[in-house]
């Protein structure tokens, strides 16, 4: 019997049904409807929704829920399409079926068979007035039909009064009662019942008309049917609640105007009519305590009117928590209390005797845990489940795809915690933040959902401010109680416990359940529960046992491993929780956050890790994460209780001493680490004899810093800005070592560098330390002789890679990697070969320890200080969680100074971009090339692994860049110079006449070829160096350019001359073609802007407007930011990688 419910669907216009989905889904749904795919329509009284069963194309049924909200037809389907899109064809088919069934009209001109529509209507309960069928209404009344009669029933869900038609009603009767009915029963071909517009006033008229027409009107009292009649006068009802044994029994007594007491067996639905046992109706007037009557009648779902049911003490007390009680009801005689039939008084319980409590239950193997929220009243615990459901209802009742995004759900829960904890003014501030400040709630739909939740919570929270009190029972003393419930604190407790992330999690809330799947989830929830309940002064139990926390104390006892000097330590943890020393198995569970202890009474103990001890345990967890599991160890067995740590890892532990961690060290190790603690008190660096350089103050500090780390057997990365003298600092350090502990050793020092820098290093050694024996090893087999004769060996990265077997046979005291960013790729063969070199100390030199991503930083620093970060995977995970700590670990081993802060006397460097217009031919070629490469790049990222796709995309982009430089690079002849070279022709003449010198960089040999043509046309002298220039000639070319009378222009490929060279004669630098990595360009520009430069340096980049070059400037800004975060400002946080698919799409498409 769902008259009222169906009415909202009947009143909806056809347009509301059309708008239920988009037009495409609507047409698909109508096709479904025409094939009779809608198999069933029914009403769900629980969710108050129409439920349709649709047989889908996959030969399986789908459920569609339909409901009306603010004159809109809302919907939900359990098919994958609806979960993803929020709409589907099944919803459209269901809407068409509901419209046809409720409106008896065709939908969108689709004519369906009358038998089909009739069956849908029958499923909804519509019954024919013209041809009554006994089997149709029998399901409602449960008795045989009676001709010319009406049966009054009460809907269980809505408590509305409905008259069921039994048999054929006389036409005169229908005509007479039509004015008082809610709708005309003859206006449709089908109906199942009817209702009155105003039962209180129109029921007497209906009974009068029925008597005249011979229509019997009856009501069922219990199992008996009684004739319905109306008593005289109004009864003043009093609800009597009697505590009898272990139950509460209720009855309703009405007193007439003459003083007669009449027992009422029940109220007539949601009206003020009371029913006596003989079927007489009495007007009961108004009684505010009527809700307590419904407590005892809610369990009877039949349409009959029957007696009140007894309730257990616990059930009554729990259900009563949502019913506000007023003291005035007693004085006004509306409610009375009894114990065993005798009058009883109501006792007020003070707030000090009322306390919130929570009990959590979850077995060791349970996938979910349950929370029981209770109120402890004078030692008697009452379930608050009805009140909890009231508090959660505003959240649970929301529909749609709002909860599909995990991030939005998390932000919502954080917002709700703030909302329920705030006062009225604070809640208004939260509402303002939701409107326009929280990205997850942007949009009218999202804001409306949050607003509905807030409105619902306001209704619940406001009752406490109105003096909310409820009834309860003290079973021990058999007394009636009245007490207050701290609703706001209960709401804070509920929302602090639960942290849902999805729609399924939200559905669990209604049952006070939450997921504890995953390692440590149960223990983590217990710790959270203990913290929350303690802060809110709430009693907490787990499995009905008390829960308490105990502090954890950690002490580490260290021993040196034999025969390993002071390089390796054994740490033996001693961990105490309260008075209990944890076993190895227990503290390993503690490391993983999975330890729960029990005392001798069975109560639970949660280890309480303070901030300091928690950091110690995190460090312990990291050590175990990096430790390999011993072979032969069976599943479930625990590894030994000692941890082997390196000297570098020991620094992490010693840093915890400042937080109170106790660490005991052997005396010799204590002395070593005491020296490290004095790191900031470095002694001045004494220049070695025969070292022919006057070091600047910062260079002296750099040498002292390298030497300090050498003495303590760590490693170093000198990352000074380009031009600050990393080479001379390194030679000073090497000279000192060769005059002390390495004086008599040959082949002790190896320097690995790019081929173009070999001659530069030979010159620098000859200039600053001519007494040191230096030998270069550039061909196969030279390493063996050099080790026997030279003090310092120079070789290249590729020579080490090719001859790594020969190089790793020798143990070097010092290995220097110049331009160490050549080792930025951790998986490259040259990086792996470098790691195999046996050495005591590593010094990496680079002005750019990171260019594209944090993996490069990891690679360079792991080369400098092997083992500093563990595995790359561990490094990335830790960087995401705690970048401050990770970069703090690297800080002592990387030293970077910048020119703007160190060399105040260095001339300024001015940089700017010159934007040029393409020629018409260039524009045509560029547009055509863009169209070609766009599809290539998209296809590569769709069909290939990311690394391979990146290679394809770079090759495609290369063609665009070549067009920007000059179409001649793609073998397209031009009748005139391309814009860049036309500009350079003018600049060469101008600079030559003014006595300036310039460097011109290009990544393309074709670009250098074009520059040569330009130089010859304007008649200026120039030099050129690229990858084809023999190593033997490079030194001579550089010396010729640096000489006062040498050519004024030097054309250089970016890769060949971008690092290591000293070209301070030039005061102009031109970049013909920009690259996305700013570090590479800066390295090249700083060949001129470095120590020794006397004039201001002007750097100019030639950029073609509206092309890939213009967009590369923005990408360069991103890479510069990454460098700043990791090197210049290591406290900044960033994990951005190198060129990504989005980068490529931006470059191509803009």
548 DSSP 8-state letter: E
- Please say whether the dihedral angle defined by the alpha carbons of residues 410, 412, 418 and 421, taken in this order, is positive or negative: negative
CA-to-CA distance for 1107 and 1109, rounded, in angstroms?
5
- Residues linked to residue 335 through DSSP beta bridges, in sequence order: 239
Taking CA atoms, 187 is separated from 99, 190, 1105, 1144, in Å, by 17, 9, 75, 68
Taking CA atoms, 911 is separated from 317, 485, 1072, 1097, in Å, by 80, 71, 14, 9
CA-to-CA distance for 649 and 656, rounded, in angstroms?
12
CA-to-CA distance for 593 and 362, rounded, in angstroms?
17
CA-to-CA distance for 826 and 823, rounded, in angstroms?
7
pLDDT band for 830, please (50, 70, 90 cuts).
Answer: very high
Q: Find the mean pLDDT for residues 140-165.
A: 62
CA-to-CA distance for 997 and 982, rounded, in angstroms?
19
CB count in 10 Å sphere of residue 790:
21
Please write the tens of the pLDDT for every residue from 1074-1091.
876 677 788 888 888 887
Most confidently modeled range among 240-254, 363-377, 515-529: 240-254
CB-based contacts of 846, cutoff 8 Å, min separation 6: 717, 718, 719, 818, 819, 820, 821, 860
Check: CB of residue 808 under 8 Å from CB of residue 773.
no
Q: Find the mean pLDDT for residues 695-714.
A: 88
Residue 159 confidence (pLDDT): 59
Altogether, the residues listed in the chain come to a count of 1150
Check: CB of residue 641 under 8 Å from CB of residue 707.
no
What is the residue-wise DSSP string for 556-581?
A: EEEEEPTTSTTSEEEEEEEEEETTEE
Please write the tens of the pLDDT for every residue from 947-991.
677 777 778 788 888 999 999 988 888 888 899 999 999 889 889
CA-to-CA distance for 935 and 1088, rounded, in angstroms?
41
Taking CA atoms, 211 is separated from 194, 200, 217, 228, 959, in Å, by 18, 18, 9, 11, 98
Q: What is the dihedral of CA 529, 532, 536, 542, to 10 degrees?
A: 10
Check: CB of residue 206 under 8 Å from CB of residue 181.
no
Res. 813: pLDDT tops 90:
yes
Residue 1139 confidence (pLDDT): 45
For strands 224-227 and 161-166, give the pairing: unpaired
Res. 1149: pLDDT tops 60:
no
Using DSSP, state whether 463 is helix, strand or coil.
Answer: helix
Cα 303 off chain centre by = 50
110 DSSP 8-state letter: B
Check: CB of residue 961 under 8 Å from CB of residue 1030.
no
CB count in 10 Å sphere of residue 805:
9
347 DSSP 8-state letter: E
For strands 236-244 and 335-339, give the pairing: parallel
CATH superfamily for 697-902 is Tandem AAA-ATPase domain (3.40.50.10810)
Q: What are phi and psi of 483, to 5 degrees?
A: -150, 165
- Check residues 671 and 377 and name the one with the higher pLDDT: 377
Res. 800: pLDDT tops 90:
yes
pLDDT band for 631, please (50, 70, 90 cuts).
Answer: very low
Please write the tens of the pLDDT for every residue from 408-436.
888 898 999 899 899 989 999 988 888 87
Res. 653: pLDDT tops 70:
no
Res. 522: pLDDT tops 60:
yes
21 DSSP 8-state letter: S
Residue 1020 confidence (pLDDT): 93
Res. 715: pLDDT tops 80:
yes
- Asked whether this chain's domains 697-902 and 909-1149 adopt the same fold, the reply is yes
CA-to-CA distance for 874 and 734, rounded, in angstroms?
34
Res. 944: pLDDT tops 80:
no
- Residues linked to residue 261 through DSSP beta bridges, in sequence order: 255
- Nearest alpha carbon to residue 188 among 106, 237, 128: 128
Res. 614: pLDDT tops 90:
no
Check: CB of residue 1004 under 8 Å from CB of residue 1074.
no
Helix (H), strand (E) at residue 1018: helix 1005-1018
* 182 φ/ψ sector (left φ>0, alpha ψ -120 to 50, else beta): alpha
**Residues of the chain with pLDDT > 70: what percent?**
80
Residue 513 confidence (pLDDT): 79
Residue 58 confidence (pLDDT): 60
pLDDT band for 112, please (50, 70, 90 cuts).
Answer: confident
1074 DSSP 8-state letter: -
Q: Where are the domains of the chain?
A: 3-124, 134-224, 229-344, 352-542, 551-630+637-676, 697-902, 909-1149
CA-to-CA distance for 861 and 863, rounded, in angstroms?
5
- Nearest alpha carbon to residue 84 among 405, 397, 399: 405
Residue 299 confidence (pLDDT): 46
What is the pTM (predicted TM-score) of this model? 0.46
Using DSSP, state whether 1060 is helix, strand or coil.
Answer: coil
Please write the tens of the pLDDT for every residue from 245-289.
888 888 888 888 777 888 888 777 667 778 888 888 888 776 666
CB-based contacts of 300, cutoff 8 Å, min separation 6: 156, 306, 309
Res. 136: pLDDT tops 70:
no
pLDDT band for 145, please (50, 70, 90 cuts).
Answer: very low
CA-to-CA distance for 1070 and 984, rounded, in angstroms?
9
Fold of the domain built from segment(s) 909-1149: Rossmann fold (3.40.50)
pLDDT band for 856, please (50, 70, 90 cuts).
Answer: confident
CA-to-CA distance for 408 and 414, rounded, in angstroms?
10
**Residues of the chain with pLDDT > 90: what percent?**
16
Cα 233 off chain centre by = 66
Q: Find the mean pLDDT for residues 492-514.
A: 79
Largest CA distance in the chain: 134
Please write the tens of the pLDDT for every residue from 447-489.
888 898 999 999 888 888 777 888 888 888 888 999 999 999 9
CB-based contacts of 950, cutoff 8 Å, min separation 6: 1139, 1144
Residue 1130 confidence (pLDDT): 43
CB-based contacts of 472, cutoff 8 Å, min separation 6: 317, 320, 349, 377, 380, 382, 480, 481, 482, 483
CA-to-CA distance for 892 and 679, rounded, in angstroms?
9
What is the residue-wise DSSP string for 618-630?
A: HHHHHHHHHSPPP
Res. 132: pLDDT tops 50:
no
Res. 735: pLDDT tops 70:
yes
Please write the tens of the pLDDT for every residue from 992-1048.
888 899 999 998 999 999 999 999 999 999 999 998 888 778 888 998 999 988 999
Res. 791: pLDDT tops 90:
yes
Taking CA atoms, 308 is separated from 297, 302, 457, in Å, by 6, 13, 33
Most confidently modeled range among 221-225, 800-804, 818-822: 800-804
- Residues linked to residue 254 through DSSP beta bridges, in sequence order: 237, 262
CA-to-CA distance for 819 and 131, rounded, in angstroms?
97
- Check residues 296 and 1044 and name the one with the higher pLDDT: 1044
Q: Find the mean pLDDT for residues 206-235.
A: 84
Q: What are phi and psi of 1130, to 5 degrees?
A: -65, -10
CA-to-CA distance for 1119 and 1128, rounded, in angstroms?
13
Check: CB of residue 646 under 8 Å from CB of residue 587.
no
Please write the tens of the pLDDT for every residue from 115-128.
888 888 878 877 54
Which region among 171-185, 925-939, 1017-1031 has the lowest average model confidence (pLDDT)?
Answer: 171-185
Cα 722 off chain centre by = 40
CB count in 10 Å sphere of residue 699:
22
Residue 660 confidence (pLDDT): 59
Check: CB of residue 246 under 8 Å from CB of residue 236.
no
Average pLDDT, the chain: 79
- Alpha-helical segments (H) within 267-405: 290-297, 313-319, 328-331, 385-396
Residue 732 confidence (pLDDT): 94
- Tokens representing 3? 């008259």
The arrangement of strands across the sheet holding 479-484 comes to 346-348, 479-484, 469-474
Please write the tens of the pLDDT for every residue from 297-333.
654 444 445 556 788 888 888 888 878 887 777 777 7
Please write the tens of the pLDDT for every residue from 1109-1131.
888 777 767 666 655 555 554 43
- Tokens representing 670? 């204590």
CB-based contacts of 550, cutoff 8 Å, min separation 6: 577, 578, 580, 597, 605, 606, 607, 608
Check: CB of residue 725 under 8 Å from CB of residue 696.
yes
CB-based contacts of 985, cutoff 8 Å, min separation 6: 977, 1014, 1017, 1018
């Amino acid at each position: 019997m769902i008259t009222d419910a169906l009415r909202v669907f009947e009143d909806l216009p056809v347009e509301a049904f059309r708008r239920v989905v988009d037009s495409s889904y609507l047409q698909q749904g109508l096709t479904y409807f025409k094939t009779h795919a809608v198999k069933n329509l029914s009403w769900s009284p629980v969710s108050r929704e129409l439920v349709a069963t649709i047989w889908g194309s996959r030969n399986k049924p789908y459920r569609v829920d339909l409901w009306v909200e603010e004159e809109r037809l809302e919907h939900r389907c359990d098919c994958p399409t609806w979960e993803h899109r929020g709409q589907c064809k099944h919803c459209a088919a269901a809407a068409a079926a509901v419209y046809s069934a409720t409106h008896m009209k065709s939908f969108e001109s689709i004519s369906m068979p009358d038998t089909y529509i009739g069956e849908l209507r029958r499923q909804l309960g519509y019954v024919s007035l013209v041809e009554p069928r006994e089997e149709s209404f029998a399901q409602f009344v449960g008795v045989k039909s009676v001709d010319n009669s009406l049966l009054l029933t009460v809907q269980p869900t809505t408590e509305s009064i409905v008259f069921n038609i039994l048999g054929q009603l006389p036409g005169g009767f229908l005509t007479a009662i039509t004015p008082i009915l809610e709708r005309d029963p003859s206006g449709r071909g089908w109906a199942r019942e009817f209702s009155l517009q105003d039962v209180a006033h129109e029921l007497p008229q209906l009974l009068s008309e029925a008597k005249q027409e011979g229509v019997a009107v009856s009501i069922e009292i219990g199992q008996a049917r009684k004739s319905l009649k109306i008593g005289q006068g109004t009864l003043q009802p009093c609800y009597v609640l009697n505590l009898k044994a272990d139950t509460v029994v209720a009855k309703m007594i009405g007193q007439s105007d003459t003083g007669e007491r009449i027992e009422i067996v029940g109220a007539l639905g949601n009206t003020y009519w009371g029913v006596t046992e003989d079927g007489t109706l009495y007007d009961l007037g108004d009684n505010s305590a009527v809700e307590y009557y419904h407590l005892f009648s809610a369990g009877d779902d039949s349409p009959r009117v029957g007696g009140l049911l007894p309730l257990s003490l616990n059930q009554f007390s729990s259900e009563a928590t949502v019913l506000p009680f007023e003291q005035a009801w007693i004085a006004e005689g509306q409610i009375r209390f009894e114990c065993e039939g005798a009058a009883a008084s109501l006792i007020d319980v003070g707030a000090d005797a009322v306390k919130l409590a929570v009990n959590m239950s979850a077995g060791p193997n349970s996938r979910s845990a349950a929370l029981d929220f209770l109120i402890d009243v004078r030692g008697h615990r009452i379930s608050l489940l009805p009140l909890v459901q009231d508090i959660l209802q505003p959240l649970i009742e929301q529909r749609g795809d709002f909860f599909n995004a995990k991030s939005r759900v998390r932000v919502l829960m954080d917002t709700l915690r703030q909302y329920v904890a705030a006062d009225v003014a604070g809640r208004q501030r939260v509402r303002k933040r939701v409107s326009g400040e929280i990205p997850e709630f942007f949009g009218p739909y999202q804001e409306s959902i949050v607003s509905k939740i807030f409105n619902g919570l306001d209704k619940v929270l406001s009752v406490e401010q109105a003096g909310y009190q409820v009834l309860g029972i003290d079973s021990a003393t058999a007394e009636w109680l009245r007490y207050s419930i701290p609703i706001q604190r209960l709401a804070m407790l509920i929302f602090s416990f639960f942290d849902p992330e999805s729609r399924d999690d939200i559905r669990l809330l209604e049952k006070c359940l939450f997921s504890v799947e995953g390692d440590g989830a149960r223990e983590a929830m217990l710790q959270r529960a203990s913290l929350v309940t303690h802060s809110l002064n709430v009693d907490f139990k787990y499995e009905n046992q008390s829960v308490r926390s105990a502090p954890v104390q950690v002490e580490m006892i260290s021993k040196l491993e034999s025969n390993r000097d002071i390089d390796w330590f054994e740490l033996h943890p001693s961990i105490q929780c309260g008075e209990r020393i944890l076993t190895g198995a227990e503290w390993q569970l503690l490391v993983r956050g999975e330890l729960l202890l029990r005392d001798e009474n069975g109560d639970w103990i949660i280890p309480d890790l303070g901030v300091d001890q928690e950091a110690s345990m995190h460090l312990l967890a990291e050590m175990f994460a990096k430790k390999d599991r011993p072979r032969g160890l069976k599943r479930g067995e625990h590894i030994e209780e000692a941890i082997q740590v390196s000297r570098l890892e020991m620094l992490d532990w010693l840093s915890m001493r400042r937080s109170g961690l106790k660490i005991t060290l052997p005396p010799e190790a204590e002395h070593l680490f005491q020296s490290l603690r004095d790191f900031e008190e470095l002694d001045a660096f004494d220049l070695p004899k025969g070292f022919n350089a006057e070091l600047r103050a910062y260079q002296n500090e750099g040498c002292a810093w390298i030497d300090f780390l050498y003495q303590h057997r760590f490693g170093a990365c000198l990352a000074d800005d380009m031009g600050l003298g990393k080479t001379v600092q390194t030679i000073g350090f090497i000279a000192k070592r060769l005059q002390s502990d390495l004086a008599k050793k040959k082949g002790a020092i190896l320097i690995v560098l790019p081929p173009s820098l070999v001659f530069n290093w030979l010159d620098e050694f000859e200039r600053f330390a001519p007494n040191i024996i230096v030998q270069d090893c550039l061909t196969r087999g030279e390493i063996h002789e050099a080790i026997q004769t030279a003090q310092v060996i120079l070789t290249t990265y590729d020579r080490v890679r090719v001859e790594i077997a020969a190089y790793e046979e020798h143990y070097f005291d010092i290995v220097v990697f110049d331009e160490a960013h050549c080792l930025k790729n951790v998986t490259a063969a040259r990086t792996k070969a470098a790691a195999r070199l046996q050495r005591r100390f590593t010094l990496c030199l680079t002005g750019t320890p990171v260019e594209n991503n944090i993996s490069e930083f990891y690679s360079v620093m792991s080369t400098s200080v092997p083992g500093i970060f563990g595995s790359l995977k561990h490094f990335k995970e830790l960087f995401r969680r705690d970048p401050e700590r990770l970069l703090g670990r690297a800080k002592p081993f990387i030293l970077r100074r910048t020119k703007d802060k160190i060399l105040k006397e260095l001339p300024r460097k001015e940089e700017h971009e010159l934007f040029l217009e393409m020629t018409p031919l260039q524009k045509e070629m560029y547009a055509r090339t863009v169209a070609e490469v766009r599809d290539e790049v998209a296809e590569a990222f769709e069909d290939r692994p990311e690394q391979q796709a990146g290679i394809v995309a770079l090759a495609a982009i290369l063609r665009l860049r070549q067009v920007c430089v000059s179409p001649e690079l793609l073998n397209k002849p031009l009748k005139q110079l391309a814009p860049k070279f036309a500009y350079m022709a003018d600049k060469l003449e101008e600079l030559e006449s003014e006595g300036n010198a310039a460097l011109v960089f290009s990544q393309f040999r074709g670009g250098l070829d074009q520059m040569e043509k330009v130089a010859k046309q304007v008649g200026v002298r120039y030099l050129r160096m690229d990858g084809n220039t023999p190593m033997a000639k490079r030194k001579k070319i550089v010396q010729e350019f640096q000489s006062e009378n040498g050519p004024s222009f030097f054309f250089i490929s970016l890769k060949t001359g971008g690092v290591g060279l000293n070209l301070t004669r030039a005061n102009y630098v031109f970049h013909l073609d920009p690259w996305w990595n700013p570090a590479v360009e800066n390295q090249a520009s700083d060949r001129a802007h470095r120590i020794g430069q006397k004039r201001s340096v002007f750097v100019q980049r030639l950029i073609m407007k509206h092309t890939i070059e213009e967009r590369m400037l923005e990408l360069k800004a991103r890479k510069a930011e990454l460098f700043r975060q990791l090197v210049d400002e290591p406290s900044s946080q960033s994990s951005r990688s190198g060129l990504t698919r989005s980068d490529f799409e931006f470059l191509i498409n803009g």
